[in-house]
Structure 1
Amino acid sequence: MNQKNLLNVDWSLIPAPTDDGAAEHLVGMTLPAIRLRATDDTVVTLSDLPGRTVIFAYPRTGEPGKVSLVEDWDLIPGARGCTPQACSFRDLFGELKAAGAAHVFGLSTQSNAYQTEMAARLHLPFPVLSDEMLELTHALRLPTMEIAGLTLIKRLAMVVDDARITHVFYPVFPPDRNAGDVLAWLKDNPASTA
């Protein structure tokens, strides 16, 4: 099975990921001082950002008309849905900012060149960060999966306040609802202004 449309997905045909506990350690961690290349041609050190930051991570986005990384991609729990997740954050970007997110970033282990094409194609109003060298992934011990010889981040979202992880959404399913869940949490948990 390989659903060809990257955005209109029948989630009833996609296996949901289970909570394997791989993100339980993240809340309370301080982000390390690691520099990541962004799709807006900047280098971002997440630990230097003041205020509230939302980071959503995903395995990898697909390209329209291209073959999936592996034939059974849709059958891997948590693999399918990177484009719908990114587009949901795009569509709710203004509301996320209004709810207190000073910064919003996507994050994957794909190359910056690949991400830059995707960000332009999807008209993303926020930068996507490349952790191609797995520096942040290893430093935070983010949940990962190995597919076709590649280490991919399992889908999650983090709320970070002044470099400290405050809340983690994991596992995320269906991916296109993740931004709405993050928005609801931000509204219910305003950032401290102290």
Structure 2
Amino acid sequence: MNTLLTALPADLPMPVDDGAAAHLEGLALPAVDLPATDGRTVRLSALPGLQVIYIYPMTGRPGLPLPEGWDALPGARGCTPQSCAFRDHHAELAALDAGVFGLSTQDSAWQSEAAERLHLPFPLLSDRPLALRDALALPVFEAGGQVLYRRLTLIVEDGRIVKVFYPVFPPDRNAGDVIAWLHAAGRG
């Protein structure tokens, strides 16, 4: 695996909490249908039980450059390490009866390549039209001529957001932070 994508730079800038996700806890997920890398269409509002939805800017691809200045953008770098951490902790999350989804604005073909290359045991969801940004006022930024999601993780129960991790830093520890929160919340 390409270590340029899986390793985080030592000088990675830490994002600050700008309050852009403070309004999310308690909100119901919208009735938005998103294509998944497993071929399904997932309606977020209909997701039953406990779900972890980690939202990330974009996954890089070996041999293709990231947007200019990517490593200097606080919170941009680390999508592959974050996905790999959720992969590595997937069994533990499943034991806590938590489903997992990754979500970005990248199209399903791009995401399918990443899901296969990274051996992800859960689907990635494509929100190319930024429907969640519009419905939930999710935080975004621009890089390389694209509007991308800022990194955040939602814990959802029966379609309602019960916990938000924002900002997420470092991204490779997000899955462990989610598991620790689930245990502290009496889930395990």
Q: TM-score interval w.r.t. the shorter chain? A: over 0.9
Which amino acid in structure 1 is aligned with residue 172 of structure 2? D
> In 2 relative to 1, CA 36–175 (structure 1 residues): closer, same or farther, beyond 3 Å?
same
Whole-Å separation in 2 of the counterparts to 1:190 and 1:41: 33
Q: Report the 3-state secondary structure (helix = DSSP H, G, I; strand = E; otherwise coil) of the residue aligned with 2:53.
A: strand
Whole-Å separation in 2 of the counterparts to 1:107 and 1:137: 12
Whole-Å separation in 1 of the counterparts to 2:63 and 2:3: 8
Identify the residue that residue 106 of structure 1 maps to in structure 2. Answer: 102
**What TM-score do you get using the length of structure 2 for normalisation?**
0.95
Identify the residue that residue 28 of structure 2 maps to in structure 1. Answer: 30
Identify the residue that residue 80 of structure 2 maps to in structure 1. Answer: 83
**Residue in structure 2 matching 1:141, options 137, 142, 146:** 137
Whole-Å separation in 1 of the counterparts to 2:60 and 2:14: 19
Q: Report the 3-state secondary structure (helix = DSSP H, G, I; strand = E; otherwise coil) of the residue aligned with 1:13.
A: coil
**What TM-score do you get using the length of structure 1 for normalisation?**
0.93
Q: Report the 3-state secondary structure (helix = DSSP H, G, I; strand = E; otherwise coil) of the residue aligned with 1:166.
A: strand
Report the count of equivalent residues: 186
Which amino acid in structure 1 is aligned with residue 66 of structure 2? S
Which amino acid in structure 1 is aligned with residue 52 of structure 2? V
Percent identity for Structure 1 against Structure 2: 56
Whole-Å separation in 2 of the counterparts to 1:140 and 1:73: 26
**Residue in structure 2 matching 1:166, options 154, 162, 178:** 162
Identify the residue that residue 123 of structure 2 maps to in structure 1. Answer: 127
Identify the residue that residue 17 of structure 1 maps to in structure 2. Answer: 15
Identify the residue that residue 96 of structure 1 maps to in structure 2. Answer: 93
Identify the residue that residue 5 of structure 1 maps to in structure 2. Answer: 4
- Structure 1, unaligned stretches of length 5 or more? none
**Residue in structure 1 matching 2:41, options 33, 40, 43:** 43
Deviating more after overlay: 160-169 vs 139-148? 139-148
CA contact (8 A) 1:99 1:190 kept: no
- Deviation beyond 2 Å, 4+ runs, structure 1: none
Q: Report the 3-state secondary structure (helix = DSSP H, G, I; strand = E; otherwise coil) of the residue aligned with 1:185.
A: helix
Pairwise CA RMSD of aligned residues? 1.3
Q: Report the 3-state secondary structure (helix = DSSP H, G, I; strand = E; otherwise coil) of the residue aligned with 1:64.
A: coil
Which amino acid in structure 1 is aligned with residue 21 of structure 2? A
Which amino acid in structure 2 is aligned with residue 8 of structure 1? A
Which amino acid in structure 2 is aligned with residue 5 of structure 1? L
Any idea what the Cα deviations from partners look like across 1:57-116, whole Å, max 9, x if unmatched? 00001011211122x110000010000000000000010111231x21000000111001
Whole-Å separation in 2 of the counterparts to 1:37 and 1:184: 30
Whole-Å separation in 2 of the counterparts to 1:64 and 1:175: 19
